Amino acid sequence: MKTNKLILSLLSLTAVMSTLLARAADPALMEPVKSVYDHYLKIQTSLAKDSLTDVSDHAKAMAKAIQGDDMKMFPPEIAAQAGKLAEAGDLKAARKAFKPLSESLIKYLADHKVKSGSFTEAYCSMAEASWLQTGKKISNPYLGKEMLTCGEVKRIF
């Protein structure tokens, strides 16, 4: 019995370590890319809660990380999209600015064939837009609390 538990524990540990190593080894997700996606996910969470709290700060941080990247991992238009989001004065404008930014970041993951398992692409037909989030439980940043779970998982990156 102890041997079975030990084997199961070792298998679980191996699976977790493999996932962590795969994420760490993916050059498409090294800094500053990781930082950009971390800020993006915080924006997505705020918008899903119908909140603008820290959205501008996170969008500015995204733009700054992209502009300061010597390796030019992202095209400059993504920094401009983040800048536009940072300037949004209300929830409607922020959600409108979030759409092209989401499209660009989804395209980056697809173009670089990222397979970290960290990002879920979701799509809402009512908003006619996709976004990235963590996990499979839909948290719609375009419709917020009104229709938080409206959408479907499209793929996992």
Q: Does residue 78 lie within any of the structural domains?
A: yes
Q: 29-62 pLDDT, tens per residue?
A: 899 999 999 999 999 999 999 999 999 999 999 9
Q: Does residue 24 lie within any of the structural domains?
A: no
Three-class DSSP category at 156: strand
Q: Does residue 18 lie within any of the structural domains?
A: no
Residues 6+ apart with CB under 8 A from 52: 46, 88, 90, 91, 94
Residue 30 or 16, more confident: 30
pLDDT at 133: 98
Q: Does residue 65 lie within any of the structural domains?
A: yes
Assess whether pLDDT exceeds 80 at residue 6: no
Confidence (pTM): 0.83
Number of domains in the chain: 1
DSSP character at residue 58: H
Confidence of residue 25 (pLDDT cuts 50, 70, 90): low
Q: Does residue 15 lie within any of the structural domains?
A: no
Three-class DSSP category at 129: strand
pLDDT at 1: 56
Q: Does residue 12 lie within any of the structural domains?
A: no
Q: 115-132 pLDDT, tens per residue?
A: 999 999 999 999 999 999
Sort 127 into a burial class: Cβ within 10 Å, 0-12 / 13-18 / 19+. middle
Q: Does residue 11 lie within any of the structural domains?
A: no
Per the CB < 8 A criterion, the answer to whether 114 and 90 are in contact is: no
Buried b (16+ CB within 10 A) or exposed e, 59-88: bbbbbbbbbebeeebbeeebbbbbbbbbeb
DSSP character at residue 71: T
Residue-range definition of the domain harbouring residue 121? 29-156
Assess whether pLDDT exceeds 90 at residue 14: no
